[in-house]
Chains A and B, each alone.
Chain A
Amino acid sequence: MKELRLMKGNEAFAEAVIRAGADGYFGYPITPQSEVMEYLMAQKTHERTGMVTLQAESEIAAINMVYGGAGCGKRVLTSSSSPGMSLKQEGISYIAGAELPCLLLNVVRGGPGLGTIQPSQSDYFQSTKGGGHGDYRLIVLAPSSVQEMADFAGLGFELAFKYRNPVLVLSDGAIGQMMEKVELDVQQPRFTDEEIRKNTPWATIGKTPDRDHNIITSLDLESIKMEQHNHKLQEKYRLIEENEVRYEKIGCEDADYAFVAYGTSARICQKSIELARAEGIKVGLMRPITLFPFPKKILNEMTSRVKGILCVEMSAGQMIEDVKLAVEGRIKVEHFGRYGGIVHSPSEIVEALKKQIIGG
């Protein structure tokens, strides 16, 4: 039986990680995502499921606690907002290099620097192209509703363990702060020690007589071995690209034009579609749900029908680079962005569509 509640995105995510059987949360407060840790603390997770909720002394400490917990085969996570995520990038690169599963949440605010506390989508590059150093990828899920904030907690852990890779839920201040209806899954049990031994044989939980020491590291000074390790990582990322692409198409069946947008922008575009269609403009929306892997193929296929694409992002134009690569120059692709904490109005998106795509 699913349970129906009215919750903020941040709270829904927090409740969902408890229900997904998380073992540990390590974080440091920052607006607009502080409700995640507040909610977990208020829930007394240590009493409810035995889950640890800990406020670390800094973001850097928090991500390294995640590294340690993940190395023990536990379901662990951290959350932050943009400047805090920048601090975590070194640890994320290490975790990706060491091939450990963990869940990350970025409730994005405007930047650069300390920026603003209002919603933004200007961390797309950081999220999908690295962020930290080295050739690694995160699986990036972009929720556009409170329901998806909850759903992607469980899905995130599932994918993280399936691929032994960090999964990032890339949200923003609007999705984090707003309340919507949410259906919550039933409580899943936390892993038992027995399950950890069986399901994650690589975990560093003490040597047993039947195997060698497990070693978790991202370091190998022998370049040949390091190249092989990188090959293995790349093969994994190709597998993820093959299997895990997720997207939603809205009103694309008869569309002459398409918006491409994720998260909050995708919600606003749905209102723009209503406005545009009332004026007789046939426009649809392609909403990437996974930003890595990016839905390249479907976008490429759409070029046989639509005449132009408007990328709507709360940034100066980041996702548009992936859209252009996918479209391979077949049709016109333009960017329409608001940033620094400003959110588009539905009507200005319609105006941009007319000016930049239809009339341009």
Chain B
Amino acid sequence: MTEEIIIAGFGGQGVLSMGKILAYSGVMQNKEVSWMPSYGPEMRGGTANVTVIISDERISSPILHEYDTAIILNQQSLDKFEHSVKVGGLLIFDPNGITRLPERTDINIYSIEAAEMAGKLGLSRVFNMIVLGGFLKLKPIVDMEYIHKGLEKSLPARHHVMIPENEKAIETGKGLITPVLVLN
């Protein structure tokens, strides 16, 4: 198993930390992982993205130009990465962040109303975990017990009280993911 993922959105949406929690969970489950952030001008301009690879084998390149999964949280990222999803791959987006729908017809597309739900629950800080839940529902590449360990490792000890809240958000996300286009 090798899963190559790009997560992209605005700075502050928790894009990098979502990737870090996923990667750390992979480490805890004894998988090979890499986490390659954007750190350049695009980040300073307000958008952030991270490439996460989780694999059972040694990872070759940590930098990719096409992905199994794209998790898209704003319009700029949809414009940039929609065409980088491998044929037959997966695109997840939050409709709250975009102004046009994805146009590809050769990939699986799902939406997740994570921003809306986070607002409803008053849990805007775990917005990214709702999105992560949606992804894990479709691709359970890491077991939930290791997600727990990943959260423990990624969050500083003083924030460990928030782990149940994060896990609840992941569960909420699993129920929110909605198919838009599913290939046979």
**A178 and B33 contacting across the interface, CB-CB below 8 Å:** no
Q: Bound state CA distance, A183 and B74, in angstroms?
A: 36
Please classify the interface of chain B as helix (H, G, I), strand (E, B), loop, or mixed, using the class held by over half of its residues: mixed
Contacts of A268 in B (CB 8 A): 60-61, 63
Scan B20-41; emit 1 where CB is below 8 A from any A CB, else 0.
1001100100001111110111
B153 interface residue, CB < 8 Å from A? Answer: yes
Chain A 146-184 against B: per-residue CB contact (8 Å), 1 yes, 0 no?
A: 000000000000000000000000000110011111000
Cα A343 to Cα B64 in complex, Å, equals 10
Tell me whether A346 and B20 are in contact (CB under 8 A).
Answer: no
* Complex partner residue of A345 from B20, B33, B35, B65, CB under 8 angstroms: B65
Q: Which 5 A-B pairs have the closest CB atoms?
A: A270-B60, A271-B61, A179-B35, A345-B65, A271-B60
Contacts of B64 in A (CB 8 A): 271, 345-346
Q: At the interface, yes or no: A116 with Cβ under 8 Å from chain B?
A: yes
- Chain A CB within 10 Å, residue with most, of B34, B37, B40, B60: B60
Q: A31 at interface (Cβ–Cβ under 8 A)?
A: yes
Cross-chain contact A117 with B40 (CB below 8 angstroms): yes
Residues of B near A273 (CB, < 8 A) are: 60
A-B contact count (CB 8 A): 66
Contact of A180 among B33, B63, B65 (CB under 8 A): B33
1/0 contact trace for A237-265 toward B, CB 8 Å? 00000000000000000000000000010
Q: Note all chain A residues with C-beta closer than 8 A to B20.
A: 6, 179
Question: Is B179 among interface residues, defined by CB-CB distance under 8 A?
Answer: no
- Minimal Cβ-Cβ distance residue in A for B65: A345
Asked whether, in the complex, the Cβ of B33 is within 8 Å of the Cβ of A177, the reply is no
Q: A349: nearest residue on chain B (CB-CB)?
A: B61
A6-B23, A177-B39 known; A274+B60 contact, CB < 8 A? yes
B33, B36, B37, B64, most chain A CB atoms within 10 A: B36
- Report the minimal beta-carbon distance from A42 to chain B, rounded to whole angstroms: 11
What is the CA–CA distance of A142 and B32 in the complex, to the nearest angstrom?
Answer: 22
- State which residues 46-92 of B face A: CB under 8 Å: 59-65
Q: B107-129: contact bitstring with A at CB < 8 Å (1 yes, 0 no)?
A: 00000000000000000000000
Closest to A35 in B: B39
User: Which residues on A sit within 8 Å (CB–CB) of B24?
Assistant: 6
Report chain A residues within 8 Å CB of B61: 267-268, 270-271, 346
**Is B27 within 8 A of A6, CB to CB?**
yes
The answer to whether A181 touches B40 (Cβ under 8 A) is no
Name which residue of chain A comes closest to B4, CB basis. A271
Q: Which residues of A lie under 8 Å from residue B34 when comparing CB positions?
A: 178-180
A192 CB to nearest chain B CB (Å): 34
> Which of B35, B41, B65 contacts A6 (CB under 8 A)?
B35
Shortest distance between the CB of B167 and any CB in chain A (Å): 20
Q: Which of A38-57 contact B (CB under 8 A)?
A: none
